[in-house]
Amino acid sequence: MSDNIAEISDDSFEAEVLNADQPVMVDFWAPWCGPCKAISPSIEALEKDFGSQMKFVKVNVDENPISPSKYGVQAIPTLIFFKNGEIADQITGMVAKEKLEETIKGVL
């Protein structure tokens, strides 16, 4: 995991995501999830490209059940993009890096 992608909790979700001063990509994941591990290198690469414009965080759904439940996360990985405290876009499942990049650009 990249040092720049913070692991956040239900307790810190509001401060880290909803009150952030820039768009935020939240990666809802779990350690046992194969597709979550598979998409991780793409997310880390995009964080390097877009980290100055967008905040990247991860939420472990096993340890933090409130946030995924509040945002209707049914499957992982689910990436939810927040802008000004509101959902701007969402991706569920394993997707190509190009699709992630396109979504990030759309949110920015």
Which residues are part of the catalytic machinery?
33, 36
Name the token pair of 56.
């990247």
Enter the DSSP assignment of 9.
-
Residues in the chain: 108
Tell me the Ramachandran region of residue 73: left when phi exceeds 0, alpha when psi lies from -120 to 50, beta otherwise: beta
Enter the DSSP assignment of 17.
I
User: Could you tell me if 100 and 46 are in contact, meaning their C-beta atoms sit under 8 angstroms apart?
Assistant: yes
